[in-house]
Structure 1
Amino acid sequence: MDALLVKEYRAGIVESTHYGHICIVNDQGEVYGSAGDPHFVTFTRSAAKPLQAIPGIRAGIADYYGLTEEEIAIMAASHLAEPRHIEVLENIQRKIGVDEEQMVCAPTYPLSEDSKEHTIREQGRKRRLYHNCSGKHLGVLGYSRMRHNPEETYAEPDHPAQREILDVIAMMSGMETERIGLGTDGCGFPVFALPLSAMANAYVKLACPDLIPDEPTRTAVRTITAAMNHYPAMVGGTRRVDTFILQDPNIVAKGGFKGVYCFGLKKERLGIALKILDGSEEEWGWVVESILEQIGYDNRRLLEGLRSEFTKDIYNDAGRKVGHAETVFTLERSR
């Protein structure tokens, strides 16, 4: 059954409700807590990006191209195409020697409103590099070039790099490859349909790489997650939940389109995955804060920061407070 996660009020009257599902797993892959259906199946969307970066990093593209930690972090990003994002992406592009037009992601304007206004005013054109998934695409293109694999089909499901990514998703999630549903993401890459419990299982391994039996994969995960924690602004950008909570070195986190959010806790050895059923993202900060509060997370500064940065007060276009939101779910603990 769907769980009611958030209510939004205007003038004391419920205006909107947001239903969804939450799953928390421990380091044994067992469901530790939940709201709704912990095995609800949905697409990973961009929450898979840290996993999709593993094959290239595992194979040595960082040393091969001389990539920095910032450049590794943006390969796992849904960036806003803010100025520093574009600078880092152009550095990657120069290092791997590919043309921007080789990327199959569509030309877009930056997601950052400030950057979009500047782009329209100064340049007046869209670019593939502005697409929020461009770091992931450059990473896989660079890996394909290093391996001398076809570059023109790098996003196709039967490409060697994409088959390797699918194997990584299966290994990290504990799923058999044939049981993973495949679709096409907005950027043109394959996207994976998994139970939330499997996504959470992948994230507990990202947080606790000692759970990964394969040493090269363990090393790659440590490299990717360290880069994400050291350069959280590369993973998202201004006022993004990813960027905010990745400042806590105990957390590995990444959201995805249509309301999917995943994070892992290192010290607590937990993986968490959630899905907002209406596909909204504005509830992420509220729901993440409530989950952390309910499990007794001890970083009070982070919790207070989440409440401040992602306030539950609702304002109108003129900045006047007109309502508020409440998280209303209670996690059920598994015995």
Structure 2
Amino acid sequence: MGDWVNMAEVWRGDILESVHRGRAVVCDSRGEVIAAWGDIDAVTYPRSSCKMLQALPLMESGAAARFALTPEQLALACASHEGAHMHTDRVVKWLGDLELGERDLRCGPQFPRAKEEQEELIRFGQKHDRTHNNCSGKHSGFLTLNKHLGGDAEYVELDHPVQQAILTAFEEMTGETSPGFGIDGCSAPNHACTLRGLATAMARMADPSALGEIRGQAAQDLVSAMKAHPELVAGQGRACTELMDSMDGRTVVKTGAEGVFIAILPERGLGVALKVQDGATRAAETAIAALLVRLGVADPNHPAVIKRLCPKQYNFAGLETGRIAPASALYADGAAI
């Protein structure tokens, strides 16, 4: 179907003003393509959409069991959270249980996205720190694995045992040899793969029956934790949290920077991966909502789905000016996949 296809349209009044193009694919756990749009074998960075793959060694190594990690902590290990107290308080306690602290995190300080916490820091003249970083839960998982392995403090280095274990799991789950890596916003390596490989990995998280006992249980536990604690995966008002809530824990979704989104559908044993060409979050959210509806796991009439599927656009005076809608090439009027 070509390199990129239309995925989301921006309308102002009755005139099409902008178009976002992208690629998307639905795969099963064998890597068979169920549906595809655009060049799904082009290489991309999964960014934060693959955090559950990065958490697999935490589970498989025995580190999670050794340190008695809870489902809440597993959800945080897969999270891109907003730095609210529900997130940072848990990270601080987790680090304390490891006899570590904020200084041991290698993700940079990040001003929280949560408005209440922003205002609190300003009001009390406090400075944001590494626990506010949206990846601090993932890095707490890295530190847990590192303590179990006995590695040195620089756990984000490519040749560190933590990152080598992650690379192995990533390549085995995608079924590909990664062609390279980039440094993510949180300073950890982010390994590239094809969109087909990413969707295949998510399908294997959805249907872990062929992964073996240890990895299969690890995948199941991570998916279950994300389904049980969507508020820890993102936060109040965020797409991942609201979409998972709207689907009553039937499906896991996870965003990544630069217009990436994945979905894990345990009931159907399918994985979804998409990438918007210009990196626009608004388009990625519309596209994933469209695919979730077509796959029969999201209700197009649910407010949280409507909010992404066809959000209305308003100006600063509160006047409705237009809407964003999925392109017909992707949505096909909601026809079932």
TM over 0.5: same fold? yes
Aligned to 1:232: 230
Once residues 299 and 18 of structure 1 are traced to their aligned partners in structure 2, the CA distance between those partners, rounded to angstroms, is 22
1:59 aligns with 2:61: yes
Once residues 299 and 277 of structure 1 are traced to their aligned partners in structure 2, the CA distance between those partners, rounded to angstroms, is 24
Which range moved further: 128-137 or 304-313?
A: 304-313
Aligned to 1:19: 21
1:252 aligns with 2:252: yes
Match of 1:74 among 64, 73, 76: 76
Aligned to 2:156: 155
- Amino acid aligned to 1:169: F
Say if 1:303 and 1:57 are closer, same or farther in 2 by CA, change over 3 A: farther
Contact 1:35–1:329 (CA under 8 A) maintained in structure 2: no
TM-score (norm: length of structure 2): 0.92
Aligned to 2:190: 191
Once residues 66 and 123 of structure 1 are traced to their aligned partners in structure 2, the CA distance between those partners, rounded to angstroms, is 36
Shift, 1:292, TM fit: 2.6
Say if 1:7 and 1:215 are closer, same or farther in 2 by CA, change over 3 A: same
Aligned to 1:97: 99
Once residues 316 and 64 of structure 2 are traced to their aligned partners in structure 1, the CA distance between those partners, rounded to angstroms, is 45
Give the root-mean-square deviation of aligned CA atoms: 1.9
Aligned to 2:201: 202
The unaligned stretches of length 5 or more in structure 2 are none
Once residues 250 and 267 of structure 1 are traced to their aligned partners in structure 2, the CA distance between those partners, rounded to angstroms, is 7
Once residues 298 and 137 of structure 1 are traced to their aligned partners in structure 2, the CA distance between those partners, rounded to angstroms, is 31
1:321 aligns with 2:320: yes
Contact 1:23–1:37 (CA under 8 A) maintained in structure 2: no
Contact 1:292–1:303 (CA under 8 A) maintained in structure 2: no
Say how many residue pairs are matched.
327
- Amino acid aligned to 1:206: M
Shift, 1:78, TM fit: 0.1
Say if 1:184 and 1:138 are closer, same or farther in 2 by CA, change over 3 A: same
The unaligned stretches of length 5 or more in structure 1 are none
Contact 2:250–2:297 (CA under 8 A) maintained in structure 1: no
| Alignment of structure 1 residues 295-306 onto 2, 5 Å | 295=295, 297=296, 299-300=298-299, 304-306=302-304
Identity of aligned residues (%): 30
1:168 aligns with 2:169: yes
- Amino acid aligned to 1:27: S
TM-score (norm: length of structure 1): 0.92
Partner SS state of residue 24, structure 2: strand
